[in-house]
Amino acid sequence: MSEFEDRARGWLKGLLGDTNEKRVKFLRGYVEQANHFEPLIEKLSDDDLRGKTAEFKNKIENALKDVANVKLIADDVPKMPGQIRTTQDKQLGVILEQILPEAFAVCREAGKRVLNMRHFDVQFMGGAALHFNKIAEMRTGEGKTLVATLPAYLNGLSGRGVHVVTVNDYLARRDAEWMGQLYRFLGLSTGLIYSHQPEQEKFEAYRADISYGTNHEFGFDYLRDNMRTSLDELVQRPYYFSIVDEVDNILIDEARTPLIISGFPTESFQEIYLKMAQISPMLQKGKDKEDEDCDYWVDEKGKNVLLTERGIITGEKVLGVPDLFDVHYNFAHHLVQALRAKELYKLDTDYVIKENEEGKPEITIVDEFTGRMMVGRRWSDGLHQAIEAKEQVPIQEETLTYASITYQNLFRLYPKLSGMTGTAMTEAAEFSKIYNLDVVSIPTNRNNVRVDNADVIYKTEVQKFISVAEEIVEMHEIGRPVLVGTTSIDKSELLDELLGKPQGMQQYLVNKMNKVAGMIKRDNLAGPSIDALMKTFERPGMIDMPKFEETCKQVEKDFPKKDEFIERCYSTLKTAKVVAAIRKGLGHHVLNAKHHEKEAMIVAQAGRKGAITVATNMAGRGTDILLGGNAEYMAREKLLKEDLQPETPEFEERLKALTKEIKVQITPDHDEVVAMGGLHIIGTERHEARRIDNQLRGRAARQGDPGTTRFFLSLEDTLMRIFGGEKISKLMDFIKADEDMPIESGMVSKSIENAQKKVEAHHFDMRKHVLQYDDVLNTQREVIYRERRRILERADLKQNMLDMLEEHLDIVLGTYINPEAQPETWEENAVAESMAKLASDIPMLDDIKPEELENLSYDDLRAKLWESITMAYEVRENHIGTETMRELERQILLRTIDGKWIDYLHNIDILREGIHLRGYGQRDPLQEYKREAFDMFNQLLRSIQEESIQLLFRAQPIVQEPNYEEMLPDEFLAHLNSQIDGMEQAIRNSEDYVEDPEERGTVHITGGGLIKPPPRPDAPDAPGGTTGGGPKPDSPDTGKKQNGSDSGEKPGKNGNTEEGTAGDAKAKEGNGSLPSVDETLKNLGKIDQESPEQKPPTVV
């Protein structure tokens, strides 16, 4: 940006005022009103304070009772959070705004009495921002967990449900239990949503006023609910208000990660994955896309691999196939995935190999933003299988998508959406454009006194980590706690080894000593201090550290003008101290995806005196680092060692007492650490996004505490290498900087920041691009899910089926009959055949003769056919019964929609994968995708209609006998059986009794209920007999419901994830096959679908 632009921006800001300041000023107005209520609320008894909740609920109820719930936005119009969707939503917003100040004051008072925590004014501002559909940017340690209670309580009064979304199960459980005390005190209920939760418990958790859970669990429950076959099975309520914690992580970092429920396909490509892993090393990598003498080149920015023309020919030759783009096997796709696995996905950086429950090795994804293992998630599109083949671990089958949705579209379903994070301003434009959310930077409760030191840059990565180790020891010597952030598991383990074993640093110390000795020889330096220095160098493994330090000071006095030499001496001294410290034992904690079990506990104690914690990225995010130590965590750890059962009254009582005791003990430690300068943060690499760096910095200097930060970088870092590293390298060569000599340059820091801005803009464009395509599918998904819900909610679907039949008739007539043409051109035979396809066992349709349709006008022809169809429908209903017909219609429609939707998702994925090739033909891929997806969706709707009406006539339910055992008490059954036995015996003893061989069997009430004995095998109604051929009702191989996919998350391109299998990191949940219509109809028993040549089985 030019100086002129800076001045112009400053002038406009002064003229119009700062947008954030205006928002903060608006929020302050509500804080002042809430503070006005505090003296009045403080005087209330506990019962009176709780009574306020009932008072607020009555106000809301009275405000809404006369307001009709009219939609203000049509169903088919795309919606965004913050848009008022109904008249009741509008009125509810008005009444909640009116009671906000007093409700916030009530919540604050409850916090004081129950949690011993009082909401600060800035927390009131954050709470108001959340209520008004905004993102509150609040620094680490400002109490975001407590902030969420304010809008959660206020909106929980509506009874429509508030969802508080966190990034992991630990935080969800912790916050639900911790803040749940406040809500329960005020009379509101709290629910916890978690993985593998019993259905009834989950149902009740969603009925609570405030529900805590993880983003993926809310998403999977949404998908699962849209696969249910009964209203009673639904667990979620209609969405209302969501508060998203760490909103940048969920709505930005994971925006392209679709949640996917999937199952296994019918085909296996394991041999192809293994073959591709074998041949990928044979292909030659090029420098860039301009390099024609190669087989492929790697796009590191887009995390993709592209085959060249030569590469396609090489692939076909090595594989021995005529076409690498074979439609069935798609060799090119699998080869590209194998190359991506080889070039772009690294062990202990992007994934780890760990044993599963069966003791077999498997690939587990590592979250690039948090460093946590994403257990159960798999990359999609064959990428996960390609990595499994590369690492030679068992290859799990690729999966078939049953249902999917991205977080972008999931959270846009909420009429009210808000979020909290420590870093959001850098992504404000994206939040506004994609989610209609404004960002407000909330002032801190106390002034921030953190010092962010300038970046230090080295030529090599090895030198960078050596300097990091030196800084750690320097801080450790004075007692300051140090938190080191790394970008991957392998980097954290490299640092762990460097701090744990002296050999590496020892060799580096010897190299430094040799350089100093070389300078002495070059400059002919001499004197007692030089002699002492050289004597020290003779035994690098047994250095007298105080004496070495004294020698360096003497050298500085003797050679005051030798700046470079003096700096080298002190640098060698620093390295020697590191070696000595490591030999003595440098206690430190390493926290990464491999050691995540005690994540919160380790991070919570990272502020203790002299503590050294090495953490991958943002591990432990959401846990406060308290200087001097966290008393509650220390107390909890001590009690767990005593084998006390957590979450029991005894445990909680002991925990409170011990926490209070430890807090007194560690107060001097807190004061001492503060006096030393607080927590020191060391960053070992700049992230692609500035906010991730800011999050690491934000761990220091919470609530006015002191703290410092510094980033150590190298030209070999990923960001530097991809964006601008060459220019900086030339600069370092120009100034002739040695490998172990750092540079601190404003120009370099500016270059890094510009590189980060470029990456952020690039990723934003990618997310927008993904959303443009996903919005097409999202619109179609909403149509399908909306129709599914209507089917579940309607008691009578008869008219729907008749409408579908009539539409089908018109389609058939439109295909074969032209009313404007001469009757002799009409294709009556084809019309008759189409009608017969509906049901070969219904005479009204099966027996239509082409000659009957001749000599009829078009209107008479249509009327005759429609009469036959409606008569066939009535016969069908009379045959199986009205109630059974209604349920049959419902289940057929649901199962047909589900089955066709699964096929559609597979086909739309294929379309999307190859649509970019249209660009070579000078056509817009997005427009082409929209056009073809529209045509495919219309075909989907038509196929759903055709299959549903065919199944309606072909599927034959077998009505099961009722189980009277469950209806009658055991004593009554025993008595009744005794009476019947006596009656039967009396009949048998009578002179008139004759046993009919054709009617063998008796009616008998047993413990199994009222049972009609099956007829003989040769009887007309016997299963397998002369009339039907249907399965025996109790046959073990019929009527069984196959296991369906219940959950899972799978990654797709560019970071999608499946849970249960998974994508470039997509979310999938479990595997299995969706039951088809003819496999099972819940509550109906069994179904046989007869072929056109077969007659259906009779109803028993």
Q: Could you tell me the pLDDT band of residue 961, with boundaries at 50, 70 and 90?
A: low
Q: Return the HEC string of 794-856.
A: CCCCHHHHHHHHHHHHHHHHHHHCCCCCCHHHCCHHHHHHHHHHHCCCCHHHHCCCHHHHCCC
CA dihedral 690, 693, 695, 700 (to 10 degrees): -140
Sign of CA dihedral 134, 139, 144, 146: negative
Whether 1030 has a pLDDT exceeding 80, the answer reads: no
What lies within 8 Å, CB to CB, of 308 at 6+ separation is 286, 292, 294, 295, 296, 297
Return the CATH class of domain 19-258+412-441.
alpha beta
* CA angle in degrees (0–180, nearest 5) for 768-789-219: 40
Region 844-850: mean pLDDT is 60
Whether 501 has a pLDDT exceeding 50, the answer reads: yes
Least confident of 277-281, 439-443, 487-491, 509-513: 487-491
Region 321-334: mean pLDDT is 78
Whether 469 has a pLDDT exceeding 90, the answer reads: yes
Asked whether 576 and 512 are in contact (CB, 8 A), the reply is: no
What lies within 8 Å, CB to CB, of 881 at 6+ separation is 959
Half-sphere exposure of residue 654, counting CA atoms within 13 Å on the CB side?
17
Distances (CA, A) of 938 to 213, 441, 478, 933: 37, 46, 72, 9
Where does residue 234 rank: exposed (0-12), middle (13-18), buried (19+ CB within 10 A)? middle
Q: Which pLDDT score, from 0 to 100, does residue 1073 have?
A: 40
Whether 144 has a pLDDT exceeding 60, the answer reads: yes
CA dihedral 185, 190, 192, 197 (to 10 degrees): 120
pLDDT in tens, 1051-1060: 444 444 444 4
Name, of 250-259, 406-415, 536-545, 904-913, the range with top average pLDDT. 406-415
Which of 774, 790, 782, 784 has the alpha carbon at shortest distance from 941?
Answer: 784
Helix (H, G, I), strand (E, B) or coil at 675: helix
Compute the distance between CA of residue 632 and CA of residue 629 in angstroms, rounded to an integer: 9
Compute the distance between CA of residue 373 and CA of residue 367 in angstroms, rounded to an integer: 6
Compute the distance between CA of residue 398 and CA of residue 1075 in angstroms, rounded to an integer: 19
Q: Which pLDDT score, from 0 to 100, does residue 5 have?
A: 47
Which of 435, 445, 345 has the alpha carbon at shortest distance from 389?
Answer: 345
Question: What do you get for the CA distance between the two ends of the chain, in Å?
Answer: 82
Report phi then psi at 21, rounded to 5.
-60, -40
Domain 451-627+678-757 has CATH 3.40.50.300: yes
Q: Could you tell me the pLDDT band of residue 1078, with boundaries at 50, 70 and 90?
A: very low
* The two structure tokens encoding residue 421: 């994070």
Q: Could you tell me the pLDDT band of residue 231, with boundaries at 50, 70 and 90?
A: very high
Listed in order, strand segments (DSSP E) in 183-235 are 190-192, 210-214
Compute the distance between CA of residue 169 and CA of residue 883 in angstroms, rounded to an integer: 44
Name, of 574-583, 833-842, 1078-1087, the range with top average pLDDT. 574-583
Percent of all residues in the chain with a pLDDT value above 70, rounded to a whole number:
79
Least confident of 229-238, 340-349, 666-675, 1024-1033: 1024-1033
Which of 116, 185, 207, 111 has the alpha carbon at shortest distance from 150?
Answer: 111
Q: Which amino acid is at 338?
A: A
pLDDT in tens, 964-988: 555 556 665 666 666 666 666 666 6
Whether 324 has a pLDDT exceeding 70, the answer reads: yes
pLDDT in tens, 85-110: 999 999 999 999 999 999 999 999 99
Region 707-726: mean pLDDT is 81
Sign of CA dihedral 52, 56, 59, 61: negative
Compute the distance between CA of residue 349 and CA of residue 662 in angstroms, rounded to an integer: 38
Q: Could you tell me the pLDDT band of residue 927, with boundaries at 50, 70 and 90?
A: very high
* The two structure tokens encoding residue 999: 């009617």
Q: Could you tell me the pLDDT band of residue 840, with boundaries at 50, 70 and 90?
A: low
Compute the distance between CA of residue 865 and CA of residue 856 in angstroms, rounded to an integer: 11
Which of 154, 767, 120 has the alpha carbon at shortest distance from 416?
Answer: 154
Partnered with residue 285 across adjacent β-strands are: 296
CATH of domain 794-958: 1.10.3060.10
Pick among 3.40.50.300, 3.90.1440.10, 3.40.50.620, 3.40.640.10: CATH of 266-398: 3.90.1440.10
Q: Could you tell me the pLDDT band of residue 1074, with boundaries at 50, 70 and 90?
A: very low
Q: Pick 326 or 668 by higher pLDDT.
A: 668
Where does residue 396 rank: exposed (0-12), middle (13-18), buried (19+ CB within 10 A)? middle
What lies within 8 Å, CB to CB, of 783 at 6+ separation is 76, 937
What lies within 8 Å, CB to CB, of 702 at 6+ separation is 139, 140, 141, 142, 624, 625
Compute the distance between CA of residue 479 and CA of residue 673 in angstroms, rounded to an integer: 7
What lies within 8 Å, CB to CB, of 94 at 6+ separation is 63
Q: Which pLDDT score, from 0 to 100, does residue 570 have?
A: 92
Compute the distance between CA of residue 1060 and CA of residue 1069 in angstroms, rounded to an integer: 4
Where does residue 511 rank: exposed (0-12), middle (13-18), buried (19+ CB within 10 A)? exposed
Region 990-1016: mean pLDDT is 42
Least confident of 36-50, 397-411, 847-861: 847-861
Mode of pairing for the β-strands spanning 1058-1059 and 377-378: antiparallel
CA 967 to chain CA centroid, Å, is: 46
DSSP code string of 778-793: HHHHHHHHHHHHHHHH
Q: Pick 332 or 620 by higher pLDDT.
A: 332
Q: What is the DSSP letter of 115?
A: I
Q: Could you tell me the pLDDT band of residue 1035, with boundaries at 50, 70 and 90?
A: very low
Which of 248, 224, 251, 253 has the alpha carbon at shortest distance from 236?
Answer: 224
| Domain residue spans of the chain | 19-258+412-441, 266-398, 451-627+678-757, 794-958, 967-987+1003-1011
Q: Please indicate whether the domains covering 266-398 and 451-627+678-757 agree at the CATH topology level.
A: no
Whether 1091 has a pLDDT exceeding 60, the answer reads: no
Region 525-552: mean pLDDT is 92
Distances (CA, A) of 401 to 398, 408, 602: 10, 19, 39
- Count Cβ atoms below 10 Å from residue 479 Cβ, excluding itself: 16
Compute the distance between CA of residue 355 and CA of residue 92 in angstroms, rounded to an integer: 52
Least confident of 714-718, 732-736, 937-941: 732-736
Asked whether 686 and 752 are in contact (CB, 8 A), the reply is: yes
Q: Which pLDDT score, from 0 to 100, does residue 703 have?
A: 82
What lies within 8 Å, CB to CB, of 305 at 6+ separation is 296, 297, 298, 299, 336, 339, 340, 343, 344
Percent of all residues in the chain with a pLDDT value above 90, rounded to a whole number:
42
Compute the distance between CA of residue 1009 and CA of residue 1035 in angstroms, rounded to an integer: 18
Whether 620 has a pLDDT exceeding 80, the answer reads: no
Whether 914 has a pLDDT exceeding 90, the answer reads: no
Region 662-691: mean pLDDT is 91
Asked whether 452 and 681 are in contact (CB, 8 A), the reply is: no
Q: Quick one: residue 869, left, alpha or beta (phi over 0 = left, psi -120 to 50 = alpha)?
A: alpha
* CA angle in degrees (0–180, nearest 5) for 710-713-341: 125
The mean predicted confidence, pLDDT, of the chain is 81
DSSP code string of 63-101: HHTT----BSS-TTS---TT---BHHHHHHHHHHHHHHH
Asked whether 250 and 408 are in contact (CB, 8 A), the reply is: no
Whether 558 has a pLDDT exceeding 80, the answer reads: yes
Q: Could you tell me the pLDDT band of residue 636, with boundaries at 50, 70 and 90?
A: confident
| pTM, two decimal places | 0.75
pLDDT in tens, 793-828: 987 899 989 999 999 888 888 888 888 877 777 887
Least confident of 295-309, 432-446, 875-889, 939-953: 295-309
Q: Which pLDDT score, from 0 to 100, does residue 271 have?
A: 85
Place of tokens 């443009």: 772
Compute the distance between CA of residue 715 and CA of residue 773 in angstroms, rounded to an integer: 37
